[in-house]
Amino acid sequence: MSPTESRVVLFGLDGAGFPILDPMLRDGTMPNLAAVLDAGVAAPLRSTEHPLSPPAWASIMTGRPPGEHGIFDFVRLDHSGGTPAYTLISSADLRVSTVFDIASRHGRRVTALNFPCMFPPPALNGSVVPGYVPWSYLGRACHPRGLFRTLKEQARIEPRKLAVDWELERTAIQGLPADQLSRWVRLHVEREEQWGRILLHLMRSEPSDLTAVVLDGVDRIQHLCLHLLVAEPEDLTPEERDVRSACRDYFRVADGLLGEVLAAAGPDADLLVVSDHGAQLAGDRIFYANTWLAQHGLLTWHDDVAVDDASRVAMNGNTESTQLFDWDHTSAAALTSSSNAIVVHRATHRGLPGVPPEEYEAFCRRLRDDLLTARDPATGERIVARVLLRDEAFPGPAADGAPDLTLELRSPGFLSVLRGPDVMAARVRPYGTHHRDGVFIAYGPGIAPGTVLRPLSVVDVAATVLHLLGLPIPAGVAGEPAVDGMRPAVRAPRPDEEQRADVFTAVGVPPKGLDAAGEAEIVSRLRSLGYLE
């Protein structure tokens, strides 16, 4: 790294939103972030159409919307077998270059830690420790070869702590009893401390021009504890106040790491603090989408599928949702809670089970119209606020791999794919879900303090990073750099766009990575968090 070249630190807080952070910025819980905010610029950061971590972080990394980069969920839909199925996303599913690829091509060193869609790791000029990988696979998941051993020996990381306790995680999506919530929070404190060790070791031993990390404990804690974070302390029981205090301790730890990162980066580096989406309290009702589809003659359950009587969105065990249905008599189904989407069973031609190609568009429009009229049997209120067809939600050359209909529920939260006793049920415990507004905060020598920024989107982050690094922005990148928040010398136009656009590639066969046992472990973890079924 040349001392004359610009440097950028991208500090990701998965699920962070200003409504949750602001009280902790004011009361001294997060003094480092407060100081950064006072001396920098900030704006809400609009997430992807459906705010979910993999597509949103992929947009942050690429500067492109999901319909162009090809990531829509934790999984990739597969229609090749005749019935809809899914496989885990991998780095091979990203159809365009990331900001890490672009910086590497220009000879800049990069560090990328805990990002989705980065396993198997790309051969970057720098270091990669991907997210969503079982601890037992980290040895083969890191780049370059030998990095994992170095981190164990020199950074003294404890690999098992990079994965949340599996037995506790298995029950987390249903909500945990109050006496288990403090343990849930502590697990994520320990996990962030491990990522902090990795990050600081690499910053000090092998400094990069672009250093990026994602802390995902923010989102996981908010899913179970957001109702305690937003409550007034006097309204809580002593036990609940203890959990609330533990949650705020987590944010103190994250803020302390930010302070250490600032010190390690030095005064010449620009800092961006960003999130993939924000958070909000989920509604008190759960929508059993597949039960609704069955009532409308569009889905047939297998005979042995039990009725869920516990208001769950996730199944116990390892049964995949694709095995719940009689596909010969099913035209549409919800496969994952995470996507809030309906997938159409597409027939390759008339006469086979599913919706024939010539009827697909009309079928989707009818289904959209029917969903918009669906009513909660108990309250009479509309269940679905908005339905976006595939090309409306995810326009672009990768749209064919997107869900066919994406739902915005009137009662915020993930839908359930289970067989419910009715189409709606009461939620058993309070739960936090995603909101489209995340955070963007910028600070450093290239940033003009006090500037009022235009509204920003997740696709603007990559362009902003490249602009601060002094690198050209490839043709086709949808985002624009937040130059209105930069000092005049940095606002000046950068070199002309690269003559060639990033090549749009078809999804290939993922490189050899996880074996069947490793993939099953990831699927089980995502299911336990309510993202898969």
Q: Are 174 and 310 in contact (CB under 8 A)?
A: yes
State the alpha helices, DSSP H only, in 74-172: 99-105, 138-141, 147-154, 166-172
User: Which pLDDT band, with edges at 50, 70 and 90, does 310 fall under?
Assistant: confident
Mean pLDDT of the chain: 89
Find the mean pLDDT for residues 270-295. Answer: 97
Ranges of each domain in the chain: 7-50+59-66+87-281+433-528, 285-429
Q: Give per-residue burial for 177-201: e unless 16+ CB within 10 Å, then b.
A: eeeebbebbebbbbbbebbbbbbbb
Per-residue pLDDT reduced to its tens digit, 164-176: 665 566 556 566 7
What is the structure's pLDDT at 174?
61
**What is the SS3 assignment for 189-218?**
HHHHHHHHHHHHHHHHHCCCCEEEEEECHH
Per-residue pLDDT reduced to its tens digit, 169-195: 655 656 677 888 999 999 999 999 999
The pTM for the full model equals 0.92
State the alpha helices, DSSP H only, in 266-341: 289-295
Please name the CATH architecture into which domain 7-50+59-66+87-281+433-528 falls.
3-Layer(aba) Sandwich (3.40)
User: Which pLDDT band, with edges at 50, 70 and 90, does 496 fall under?
Assistant: very low
Record the tokens describing residue 376, joined without a space: 């909660």
Q: Are 24 and 248 in contact (CB under 8 A)?
A: yes
CA distance readout (Å), 306 to 165, 302, 318 = 28, 9, 15
3-class DSSP assignment, residue 25: helix
**Pairing mode, if any, of strands 75-78 and 110-113?**
unpaired
Q: In angstroms, rounded to a whole number, what is the distance separating the alpha carbons of residues 218 and 224?
A: 11
Going by C-beta distance under 8 Å and a sequence separation of 6 or more, which residues neighbour residue 212?
9, 10, 11, 12, 100, 110, 111, 112, 113, 115
Q: Most confidently modeled of 144-148, 428-432, 492-496?
A: 144-148
What is the structure's pLDDT at 135?
79
Neighbours of 369 (CB within 10 A): 10
Which residue in the block uniquely carries the two structure tokens 């003294």?
156
Per-residue pLDDT reduced to its tens digit, 56-75: 999 999 999 999 999 999 98
State the alpha helices, DSSP H only, in 160-275: 166-172, 178-205, 217-229, 238-265
Which residue in the block uniquely carries the two structure tokens 């957001």?
226
What is the structure's pLDDT at 314?
52
Kindly tell me the burial class for residue 252, based on how many C-beta atoms sit within 10 Å of its own C-beta (0-12, 13-18, 19 or more).
Answer: middle
Q: Which residue has the higher pLDDT, 311 or 154?
A: 154
User: Which pLDDT band, with edges at 50, 70 and 90, does 81 fall under?
Assistant: confident
Percentage of the chain modeled with pLDDT above 90:
74
Q: In angstroms, rounded to a whole number, what is the distance separating the alpha carbons of residues 447 and 379?
A: 50
Per-residue pLDDT reduced to its tens digit, 83-93: 998 888 999 99
**Which amino acid is residue 63, in one-letter code?**
G
